[in-house]
Amino acid sequence: MSRFWSRLTGELSPYVPGEQPRMADLTKLNTNESPYGPSPRALAAIKGEAAESLRLYPDPQSSALRAALAAYHGVAQEQVFAGNGSDEVLAHAFAALLKQDAPLLFPDITYSFYPVYCRLLGIAYETVPLDGAMRIDVASYRREAGAIILANPNAPTGIALSRGEIETLLADHPDIPVVIDEAYVDFGGETAIPLVATHPNLLVVQTMSKSRALAGLRIGYAIGDAALIEGLTRVKDSFNSYPLGRPAQAGAVASLEDEAYFQESRARVIEGRGRLTAGLAGLGFEILPSAANFVFARHPEREGAGLAAALRERAVIVRHFAAPRIADYLRITVGTDEQVDRLLAALSEILR
């Protein structure tokens, strides 16, 4: 700690991202990255921006990307916001929409960045427990609230709410902002974007890091009523009016234009998830029903931390959270068939 830090800096408990280890012959299944890589058209577009034009600032409104996203999702361009990954978009949403007089509500087990944002921005919040099956019960949110944010599918559980359940939540709370974080929705969830047309308090946040394999570019976006988007823009322009670089904007547009590649790689991940789930079940694991590109599983006879450490000794990295209710679970990214086979072989050896 430096004596030059502000008091706020000293009081923060920062988010801890998934490890990016440098190990030989590593099977990396801890950060939910795509195992298949970006669209070739996206790569070509990114390379095309490696030119003399990089001396110029990018379009501060990301107009071409927002137009492409609007067309893809069937909304107006003024209903779309783009930012550096969904984490930046969420940060702007916390500042612009979720800091209200009454507390913000979110699950007790969810994306661990949410309480970090609250502490940074001085947002009062309350957590709502998942039920005994580790599911979000929208009825449990029928209480006083200033705003609500839910990850759907939830992380790290992977369990998804239906669009009907989101609609029920919105009907219960028509007068407060509701943010639905859909980072993993393309792997089996049901997007809430169609509800934006009839719910001016709904903001839906998505990312191109997972299903479009562009985590290294940092591209996220939000879709909602134009007034909500204006609020995000006001916050963005108070920090940095140039959110996305030229290569990122070009690569994102090209990815949206390559629908065949997107659907193929998405289907491969979903198929791989089924293969991973079956393999873990065969080893005696209990697996939550996942609609994401990862599974959340525990073994009834082993501690999660011990399993994660034993896998690491075999150069297989998974994510373990030392948190109440989930300390014995492992979050395992869906990898290639070869990566899944290596994980299952390592677990079989450990369990023997």
| 290 and 309 belong to one structural domain | yes
The Cα-based distances of 338 to 129, 213, 287, 296, 334 in angstroms read 37, 19, 21, 20, 11
| 14 and 130 belong to one structural domain | no
Confidence bin at 18 (pLDDT 50/70/90)? low
| 72 and 213 belong to one structural domain | yes
Dist CA 243 CA 262 (whole Å):
25
Residues 6+ positions from 17 with CB-CB distance below 8 Å: 31
Q: What is the pLDDT of residue 91?
A: 95
Mean pLDDT of the chain: 95
| 56 and 182 belong to one structural domain | yes
Task: Give me the mean pLDDT over the 50-77 stretch.
Answer: 96
**Distance from first CA to last CA of the chain, Å, rounded?**
45
pLDDT 10s digits, 147-190? 999 999 999 999 999 999 999 999 999 999 999 999 999 999 99
Q: What is the pLDDT of residue 11?
A: 77
Number of structural domains in the chain: 2
Phi-psi region of 133 (alpha: psi -120 to 50; beta: other; left: phi over 0): alpha
**Token pair for 76:** 């107006």
Q: What is the pLDDT of residue 7?
A: 81
Which of 141, 129, 150, 149 lies closest to 171 in space, CA to CA? 141
Phi-psi region of 23 (alpha: psi -120 to 50; beta: other; left: phi over 0): beta
Dist CA 351 CA 57 (whole Å):
55
Instruction: Determine the number of helices (DSSP H) and then strands (DSSP E) in the chain.
Output: 11, 12
Residues 298, 319: contact at Cβ < 8 Å? no
Confidence bin at 12 (pLDDT 50/70/90)? confident
Q: What is the DSSP string of 58-77?
A: PPTT-HHHHHHHHHHHTS-G
| Residue at a domain's end among 240, 258, 276 | 258
| Residue at a domain's end among 236, 258, 280 | 258
Q: What is the pLDDT of residue 243?
A: 83
Dist CA 53 CA 62 (whole Å):
16
Q: What is the pLDDT of residue 15?
A: 65
Phi-psi region of 158 (alpha: psi -120 to 50; beta: other; left: phi over 0): left
CB burial class (10 A; 0-12, 13-18, 19+) of residue 184?
A: buried
| 112 and 159 belong to one structural domain | yes
| 244 and 286 belong to one structural domain | no
Confidence bin at 293 (pLDDT 50/70/90)? very high
pLDDT 10s digits, 260-270? 999 999 999 99
| Residue at a domain's end among 258, 286, 308 | 258
Considering only residues 125 and 324, tell me which one the structure prediction assigns the higher pLDDT: 125
Residue 95 falls inside a structural domain: yes
Task: Give me the mean pLDDT over the 225-242 stretch.
Answer: 93
Supply the pTM of this predicted model: 0.95
**Token pair for 32:** 């939910």
* Structural domain of 17: 7-37+260-351
Q: What is the pLDDT of residue 24?
A: 66
